[in-house]
Amino acid sequence: MTLEATGSNDIRLCGEMLRRGALVEPAPPRILQAGPLSLLFEGDSLRYIRLGDREIVRRIYCAVRDRNWATIPNRVDDFRARVAADSFDIDFDVRNVEGEIDFRWHGRITGAAEGTIDFEMEGVAQRTFWRNRVGFCVLHPIEGCAGEKCIIVGPDGAGIAAEFPRFIAPENPFREMTGIVQPLSPGVSAQLSFRGDLFEMEDQRNWTDASFKTFCTPLRLPFPAKLHAGDRVAQRVTLRIVRDSGSESRIAPTLGIDVPVVPAAPSQPATIRLTLNVNESGPDRLPQIGLGWSPHGTPLSEQEFARLRDLSLSHLSCELHLGGEPSGADFSQAAADAARLGVPLDVAVFVSGDAEAELAALVERLAALRPHVVRWHLHHENCWSTSWTLIEAARRKLAAWDPRIPVGGGSRANFLELNRNRPPAGLADFVAWPVHPQEHSFDDASLFETVSAQRATVESARQFADGRPLVVGPITLNRRVNPYATGPAEIAAESQPPARVDRRQLSLFGAAWTLGSLKHLAEAGAAALTYFDTLGWLGVMERESGSPLPESFPSLSGAVYPLYFVLADAGEMKGAAVVPTRSSDPLSLEALALRDAQKLRLMIANPTGRTQPVSFECRATRASLRTLDETNALEAMRNPQSFRNFRTEHAVAGTVELRLSPYSYTCLDLS
């Protein structure tokens, strides 16, 4: 029976499921041109609108979001397109149907040769429902916007000089907008106009989206709001590239009349250039890396312990809810597992009532259990960010157990909750927050965009952390809590995993995302990171008993997931110096470089379905290479130690050239 089940899962865990945790291959995006503007059309949205090699707009799309801010999928019908070399005209119909929501809309997108793009939508509610948003969102890229000047156009058409925030803004930077103008070069501007509603901008880096988002319907208006059957919504977004005819104050109100004279976007080189800044590596070391402890019901097997030891973890993270005995039992098991692994516990303590009394009772429990603890994170069950008075109480009480253990806190939801509740100087010993990539968008491209925004959270936290260590975790593929729900969450069907589970956990794409996340957090200088869990569908490997729902989560019993290898290769370099790297196309390839006394380790991920040629310069003479891709992943997942022991040896000199297969992860040691 076991062999039959494993074979069955082998069949399910192949193709797109192995590559990206999906059942079908996505339709390739269509490359379009609107005069000097190049862009991609994907599904029902526009992505990566560029003028030459400069990205101007990351994405334009229409979203329907329910009372809990869940995004209702867009289902496209009756698609029609007329495409020329320098223009296009696209029509399509969309249905948003889920739960109480039934909204239908028609979209039309046109691109003109003079450098203008229009996106119109008009829809009708098919029945009455509660919504938080219906309409357009426009995403502005961080690179080229953060810290740059712009002009915000108000409802009266007047332009106001402004600036995109350099560091992550805790409050929405721009409100009550009908347009925005951004200078691109002397005499040339990108001008966006919005019709059909007032628009507002938020800094999406608070949720690790790599963008500023201009969205319809200001948040000052009450939500959720009722949309009645028959109610109509009509909006329009226009992007123009214009040659400025005068001062900025004259440009903004007109929102673009002149026709630009701008060269078309150049073709991109086929080979991605990777730059290793070996002379820039300084005192920054690879952060401490740990895993979340997952309740597993039965003791870990010898093989499971062995595979966790091979990760060379720095800590095991667990939650301790002081209000209940089951949590105490879990804490005892977590402490025992950590001791057997030879690592300390990183403990998130949740109080629920009388904090002083609950913490005093905890100290008594610690005296009996005597766990090895590296950090105390303090939270209240009813708050999304730490009350700093709670830190003071915890410092007094927990000092009776061991005053040397750092006491800190932050947010248990996202970076925004920390950003809006910054710790007073000198109070906490460290500042912490979790990250995940799925607050607003859920496709592979959007998820991989978020890895660079994780760096931004560290850089921004450093501005108010008063030199204290920055601790990031849990780092997960999906959010574990929803602090913005205005109603009860929908319960998943018995045949489906909980909403916090993402099948990309067991995929090659999951390994690429993990590598991108680790690269940016390490280069930003985070002190400690906690990724995923130990076991199960949120973990780094499957239980020996197998997946509870093999049809919907077809993991291999007792096997590791591809992301395990990223953490194992990093763990093997514990204490190494972080060498900054830069990819010429970071959305198609990312790399983390680590250096110790013996070697330079280059860990490279290709998160796309395309073979990616890559080249870089180095002074090494020997290279040791190992690549994980769909040709060897299943065997590697079953026998991770054998896979990690196998490498091919190569002589190198000067330029190193590689061809990375789709969704592959490569570990290259240079000496």
Q: Looking at the structure, do residues 210 and 321 belong to the same domain, yes or no?
A: no
Report CA-CA distances (Å) from 86 to 50, 115, 264, 338: 14, 9, 10, 61
380 and 511 co-located in one domain: yes
DSSP state of 299: P
| HSE-up (13 A, CA, CB side) for residue 529 | 29
39: CB partners within 8 A, 6+ apart: 31, 32, 33, 46, 47, 48, 49, 50, 111, 117
Q: Are 507 and 562 in contact (CB under 8 A)?
A: yes
Between strands 45-51 and 54-65, the pairing is antiparallel
Same domain for 641 and 536: no
Within a domain: residue 644? yes
The residue behind tokens 């889920």 is: 98
Residue 366 lies in a domain: yes
CA triple 353-358-363, angle to 5 deg: 165
In a domain, 431, yes or no: yes
In which residue ranges of the chain is pLDDT below 70?
1-8, 244-270, 280-283, 324-328, 486-487, 489-492
Give the Cβ contact number of residue 428 at 10 Å. 26
Helices (H), 25-114: none
Q: Identify whether residues 299 and 374 lie together within a single domain.
A: yes
Q: Which residues pair with 347 in a beta bridge?
A: 318, 376
Of 534, 564, 582, which residue sits at a domain end?
Answer: 582
Give pLDDT, residue 325: 58
User: CA Rg, the chain, in Å?
Assistant: 26
N residues, the chain: 671
State how many domains the chain has. 3
Residue 6, domain member (yes or no): no
| Of 154, 279, 142, residue with least CA distance to 213 | 142
Sign of CA dihedral 332, 333, 339, 343: negative
Same domain, 640 and 552: no
Residue 150: the pLDDT is 96
Strands (E), 2-83: 30-34, 37-42, 45-51, 54-65, 75-83
Gap between the Cα atoms of 335 and 669, Å rounded: 35
Q: What is the pLDDT of residue 492?
A: 66
Could you tell me if 431 and 408 are in contact, meaning their C-beta atoms sit under 8 angstroms apart?
yes
Asked whether 56 and 184 are in contact (CB, 8 A), the reply is: yes
- Is the residue at 263 inside a domain? no
| Domain coverage including residue 317 | 284-482+495-582
**Same domain (yes/no): 158, 298:** no
pLDDT of residue 652: 85
Instruction: Look at the block and give the residue holding tokens 């829809």.
Output: 123
Same domain for 409 and 425? yes
Q: Are residues 623 and 569 in the same domain?
A: no
- Torsion 644-650-652-658 (CA) sign: negative
| Cβ-count burial 506-526 (b if 16+ within 10 Å, e if not) | bbbbbbbbbbbbbbbbbbbbb
Nearest Cα residue to 505 out of 455, 572, 559, 569: 559
310 close to 641: Cβ distance less than 8 angstroms: yes
Maximum pairwise Cα distance, the chain: 77
Residue 67 lies in a domain: yes
User: In three state form, how does the secondary structure of 412-440 look?
Assistant: CCCHHHHHCCCCCCCCCCCEEEEECCCCC
Residue 514: its H or E element: helix 508-524
In whole angstroms, what is the distance from residue 523 CA to residue 321 CA?
33
Domain containing 627 — which CATH number? 2.60.40.1180
What pTM was estimated for this model as a whole?
A: 0.92
DSSP 560: B
User: Considering only CA atoms, which of 145, 123, 120, 142 is closest in space to residue 133?
Assistant: 123
Q: How far is CA 456 from the centre of its chain?
A: 12
Structure tokens of 647? Answer: 């490498």
pLDDT at 314: 98
Joined together, the tokens standing for residue 278 give: 């070996």
Interhelix angle for 325-341 vs 302-309, to 10°? 70
Kindly report the CATH number assigned to the domain that includes residue 457.
3.20.20.80
Last residue of some domain: 206, 238, 254? 254
Which helix (H) or strand (E) segment holds residue 349: the answer is strand 345-351
Helices (H) and strands (E) in the chain — how many of each?
13, 38
Write the CATH number for 97. 2.70.98.10
CA angle 135/419/428 to nearest 5° reads: 160
Cβ within 8 Å of residue 404, ≥6 positions away = none
State whether 637 and 534 are in the same domain. no
Task: Tell me, yes or no, whether 301 lies in a domain.
Answer: yes
Residues 399 and 506 in one domain: yes
Could you say which of 527, 560, 582 is where a domain stops?
582
Instruction: Indicate whether 120 and 165 sit together in one domain.
Output: yes
Rounded-to-integer distance, Cα 131 and Cα 226, Å = 6
CB-based burial of residue 328 (10 Å sphere; 0-12 exposed, 13-18 middle, 19+ buried)?
Answer: middle
Q: Is residue 18 part of a domain?
A: no
Query: Please, are residues 530 and 377 in contact by the beta-carbon 8 Å criterion?
Result: no
In angstroms, the CA 325 to CA 646 distance is 46
